[in-house]
Amino acid sequence: MVGPGHLTLVKRFAGVAAVLALSLSACGGAASSPPPATSSAAAAASPAAKPASAAASAGAKPAASAKPAAKPSIAGAVAALAGGSAGPAATGQFTSGNPYLAKPGEQPVTVKAGWCAISAGFLQLYVARDYDLFSKYGIKIQTQGMNAGANAALAALTKGDFDFLYCAAAGTIPGLASGVPDTLVAAPLVGLPYVMVANKNIHSVQDLKGKKIGISHPGDLDDVLSHDVLKKNNVDASTVTMVPAGGQTQRYQNILAGVIDAANVTPPLEVQAKNDGLNVIYQLKDLNIPFIYSAIHTNENMLKNHPQTVQRFVAAMAESSWFMSTHKQQAEASITRPPNWSI
């Protein structure tokens, strides 16, 4: 278990939600070598010998960056972001005083990162991948979606099929609390991102009386949050039926098919819902519940044997949060990439 002393709250990046990073220096980790060749991480040359001594942070405050092009190009932006060992340092791209950048000539370490669902809440990972931020930190990234639920994703992480996993913390914390030997090391997005969408005949939470709300399973997060929404809006839960209807994508399809009347989803599905003629009837952030959403997880092997790689991965994700806040058009372009595209 990781004690309270191992966790450090990293400074907010230009208004982006705070990143909760694991301070590996307290573990006394020696210089990390690259992960061994397995099904989840190819062998690579050893990274720099000098270990980082604190949790990932932005380093010096980035200088103002150039205005984004009217039509953002991922390829062009990647070239402009080349810094550290990837090429000449670009102005304001976390290159000044940043101890986590790869050293000149250092060979990258290949790691595999996955996500638990297709969600704009995981955009930090997509942006870091698409704009090649990881290479600045000596990491050659491979990405893949799991889309099989938090328990299956944690099992794959424990096994070593993934070195890092990006999932909703609400789904993984029960497994971690039950003894799964993986660790949540950073949370780039805090707060409830969910919205409740409903068919075109339902315009408010009050209209849910006598209707069906889709959930994953009785007693899970969807069930609890749906009951909280009803309570907040003074709707008797006994007048509404909770129907197990699968994961988020399945629940959404079941609304369209008329099997259920409403469900909680995350962005950007609420945009698609409006395009499909559905109504957004409640923003769950209004529940004011303290909540960690998208979170980065890693396994025991990475923490014990490759702490510097973990630090660098978190540093790249921190820069991605900053990049999203200052390069809105490029971040939006990343959403349009095929979800299972990998490098």
The answer to the question of residue 211 being in a domain is yes
Q: Are residues 131 and 253 in the same domain?
A: no
- The pLDDT value recorded for residue 336 is 67
**In whole angstroms, what is the distance from residue 139 CA to residue 41 CA?**
11
Q: Are residues 135 and 183 in the same domain?
A: yes
Last residue within a domain, chosen from 287, 304, 320: 287
- Which stretch of 67-71, 94-98, 141-145 has the lowest confidence by average pLDDT? 67-71
Q: Are residues 90 and 217 in the same domain?
A: no
**In whole angstroms, what is the distance from residue 169 CA to residue 190 CA?**
10
- The pLDDT value recorded for residue 286 is 92
Q: At residue 44, does pLDDT exceed 50? A: no
- The pLDDT value recorded for residue 170 is 79
- The pLDDT value recorded for residue 96 is 63
Q: Are residues 169 and 33 in the same domain?
A: yes
Q: Are residues 126 and 205 in the same domain?
A: no
Q: Tell me the mean pLDDT in the region 196-203.
A: 96
Q: Tell me the mean pLDDT in the region 299-321.
A: 94
Q: Are residues 148 and 125 in the same domain?
A: yes
| Higher per-residue confidence, 119 vs 66 | 119
Percentage of residues in the chain having pLDDT higher than 70: 68
Q: Cβ–Cβ contacts within 10 Å for residue 164, how many?
A: 27
Q: At residue 202, does pLDDT exceed 70? A: yes
**In whole angstroms, what is the distance from residue 76 CA to residue 341 CA?**
18
Q: Are residues 152 and 281 in the same domain?
A: no
* Predicted confidence (pLDDT) per residue in 122-139, tens digit: 788 888 888 889 999 999
The answer to the question of residue 210 being in a domain is yes
Q: Cα separations (Å) of 68 from 6, 60, 117, 134, 169?
A: 38, 22, 29, 21, 33
The tokens for 239 are 């007048």
Residue 92: band (very low, low, confident or very high) from pLDDT cuts 50, 70, 90 = low
Q: Are residues 37 and 73 in the same domain?
A: yes
Q: At residue 27, does pLDDT exceed 50? A: no
Q: At residue 28, does pLDDT exceed 50? A: no
Domain range enclosing 323: 4-43+68-191+291-335
**pTM of the predicted model as reported, rounded to 2 decimal places:** 0.59
Q: Report the candidate in 310, 295, 314 with the shortest Cα–Cα distance to residue 27.
A: 310
**For the chain, give me the number of helices (H) and strands (E)?**
11, 12
Residue 301: band (very low, low, confident or very high) from pLDDT cuts 50, 70, 90 = very high
- The pLDDT value recorded for residue 78 is 46
- Which stretch of 80-84, 218-222, 234-238 has the lowest confidence by average pLDDT? 80-84
**In whole angstroms, what is the distance from residue 162 CA to residue 76 CA?**
29
Residue 217: band (very low, low, confident or very high) from pLDDT cuts 50, 70, 90 = confident
- The pLDDT value recorded for residue 59 is 37
- Split into its structural domains, the chain has a count of 2
Specify the length of the chain in residues: 343
- The pLDDT value recorded for residue 269 is 78
Percentage of residues in the chain having pLDDT higher than 90: 38
The whole-chain average pLDDT of the chain stands at 74
Q: At residue 236, does pLDDT exceed 90? A: yes
Q: Cβ–Cβ contacts within 10 Å for residue 124, how many?
A: 28
Q: Are residues 150 and 121 in the same domain?
A: yes
**In whole angstroms, what is the distance from residue 318 CA to residue 316 CA?**
5
